[in-house]
Structure 1
Amino acid sequence: MGHDHIHIHKHEVKGKNLVFSILLNLLITLAQIIGGIVSGSLALLSDALHNFSDVLSLVFSLIAHKLSRRKASINNTFGFKRAELIAAFVNAATLVIVAFILIYGAIERFFNPHPIESGLVIWLALLGIVVNGLSVLLLQKDAEHNINMKSAYLHLLTDMLASVAVLVGGLLMKFYGWFWVDSVMTIAIAVYLIVVGGKLLLASTKMLMLFTPDFIDIKELVREVHKIRGVGKLHHIHVWHLNDEELHLEAHLDCEEDIKMSEFNELLHQIEMVLFEKFGINHINIQPEFKKEEVTKDFIVQD
């Protein structure tokens, strides 16, 4: 069986950025809880609840990040590389759960409005924008390369947008006395959380379930491999993400001729280059065969 992987330059995710973001969010969470109680603003308390969930999510992401860097061992042959996928899944799920909690509270408050100290709401919303905005900038680059960091980044980005919504609501309450805006803004924040959280939840679920990535067309992949001289038929194919950095393929390969191992190594190298350059697959495990009798040799086989 031929196995190899192609080494690529990896973006170095900085865990210290997560630490800074955790400290910043602890600060804003405490400030918003106190401010929400004093002012009577549900939107502010909702934002504080969301910020607190972010602190927990960021801590979870940090732990997962540290675990994913551990080396593989006899008992953990893949190491803890999928820890960050689990963190992304949990973080995305909490975004959606928090959103429904916010909607329930907002509907209840809408029918039972309370006077709100809008001035305090405005100042704390501004503080939230600054603190979360800084955290977003810290994680922005890492979020482009890592689903775990993206989940943390989305938590912080939605916090910043929530603070903007709270600010707008505070201004409308201060100058127009529209206290019902507090509930409307809370629902708007919650809907946005459901949308972004749902997308991330779906993406992390697909990776955890070892689904074929959306950008991989198995039939096109087979066509490209079949163009290589010496290849008979590629079958029993599996393509999946181990994590953000590693895209794996395993398959059986019928060779056209009964070739030597050294010749298969050369054939394997050609296949590796095609799969990497055209599909981004960097870990390949192929079982060579020659005139092996099997019941079926379809591209996808239910083993």
Structure 2
Amino acid sequence: MVFLIMAHQHQHGHSHTHHHHDLKGRNLLISIILNAFITLAQVIGGLVSGSLALLSDALHNFSDVLSLVISYMANVLSKRKASAKKTFGYKRAEVIAAFVNSATLMVVAVFLIIEAVERFYHPKDIGSDLVIWLSIIAILGNGFSVLLIKKDSDVNMNMKSAYLHLLTDMMASVAVLIGGLLMKFYQVFWIDPLLTLLIALYLVYMGYDLLKQSTKVLMLFTPKSVAVNDIVVAISNISLVKNVHHVHIWQLNEEEVHLEAHIDFLQDIRLSEFDRVLEQIEKLAYDEFGINHVNIQPEFGKCDSKQIIVQD
């Protein structure tokens, strides 16, 4: 008889985690309100002043509002418990949000590049005073939002995507302010499409890495921090283990990395002996590779492929 055994590290500090989730949600909500106000002001100001850089900043800000709403919804969904129909719950919600947000960064960037190139060929006088004041408002609003969610951005992909949106928009607003000052005092109006182009290229630079990371998680690729051959060798060195095969390692979300494998044993051992080996594997996987969910299928003399990687 073959047993499928599931082991995982027990979680602690539920009240702290719940409080942390609440703070994340609150901070996102504040950022949404701030950015909605900034977007509206910049759209009106951009239309009145004729500044493409201001309108491009407004468009970026609008994508911020959408991304923050997605991040907020993902944050709410991720707190929902697992059920019979959703055995993993909504743990992937924040990774999906990160993917959507980073993809929108790229789309917005392409749109801005097209608009900037067109404006180079058809320059336009800009109402610089409005540009200056609205960019200052945007810098203050986005700066406050960046400070609110910076801490969570270091450990959470969803919050990082929201943080990148806000950070790039704050930097874009700084560029727009510099452009507004140059237009006001030196009548250098070509600076407007140039800044738009630079903002767009920076969006591509910032968004690409996050898009790649979130895609790898959604595609169940092996995390970069885990070397499959190293963990196979480490488990094979455990007493009674003959070989390790059919290995799958994937990242469910920021907090969970899963290992699934078949292990061929040298002897027809008892379940109690297997439990002791399983504890060793669990400790090894967590301490040396950061894997906190282990799913092992024990085997003895079973005729199946012994390759490490087998596509099921």
TM-score by length of 2: 0.94
- Could you tell me how far apart the structure 2 residues matched to 1:286 and 1:15 are? 36
For 2:203 and 2:218, how far apart are their aligned partners in 1? 22
Amino acid of the structure 1 residue aligned with 2:7: D
Q: Tell me which residue corresponds to 2:308.
A: 299
Match of 2:62 in 1: 52
Which residue number in structure 1 is paired with residue 87 of structure 2?
77
Say which SS state the counterpart of residue 291 (structure 1) adopts: coil
Q: State the SS of the aligned residue for 1:232.
A: strand
2:87 is aligned with 1:88: no
Which residue of 96, 112, 120 maps to 2:130?
A: 120
Post-superposition shift, 1:165?
1.0
Aligned length: 302
User: Within 2, Cα distance between the matches of 1:230 and 1:152?
Assistant: 48
Matched position secondary structure for 2:142: helix
Q: Could you say what secondary structure the match of 1:237 adopts?
A: strand
Q: Distance in 1 between matches of 2:48 and 2:12?
A: 51
Q: Please report the RMSD computed on the Cα atoms of aligned residues, expressed in angstroms.
A: 1.2
Distance 1:87 1:279 in 2: 26
The aligned runs of 1:244-255 (5 Å cut-off) are 244-255=254-265
- After TM superposition, the structure 1 = structure 2 runs for residues 136-147 of structure 1, keeping only pairs within 5 Å, are 136-147=146-157
Structure 1, unpaired ranges of 5+: none
* Shift, 1:8, TM fit: 4.8
What residue identity is the alignment partner of 1:103?
I
Residue among 130, 144, 148 paired with 2:140: 130
Alpha-carbon distance between aligned partners in 2 of 1:126 and 1:225, rounded to the nearest angstrom: 58
Q: Distance in 1 between matches of 2:302 and 2:104?
A: 50
What code does the residue aligned with 2:262 have?
H
Correspondences of 1:15-26 after superposition (within 5 Å): 15-26=25-36
Partner-residue secondary structure (3-state), 1:32: helix
Determine helix, strand or coil for the equivalent of 1:235: strand
1:7 deviates by: 2.9
Give unmatched runs, 5+ long, in structure 2: none
The answer to whether the 8 A contact 1:2-1:265 is kept is no
Could you tell me how far 1:237 is from its partner in structure 2? 0.4
Deviations 1:173-203 (A, max 9, x none): 1222111111010010000101111111111
* Matching residue's letter, 1:147: M
Q: Any idea what SS the aligned residue of 1:77 has?
A: coil
1:195 aligns to what SS in structure 2? helix
Aligned residue in 2 for 1:226 = 236
Conservation of the 8 A alpha-carbon contact between 1:239 and 1:248: yes
Maintained 8 Å contact 1:246/1:282: yes
Aligned partner of 2:227 among 197, 217, 237? 217
1:116 partner SS? coil
**Aligned residue number for residue 7 of structure 1:** 10
Q: Distance in 2 between matches of 1:227 and 1:142?
A: 38
Letter in 1 for 2:233: R
Report the Cα offset of residue 227 of structure 1: 2.0
Measure, in 1, the Cα distance between the counterparts of 2:226 and 2:205: 24
Where does residue 176 of structure 2 map in the other structure? 166
Look up the match of 2:166: 156
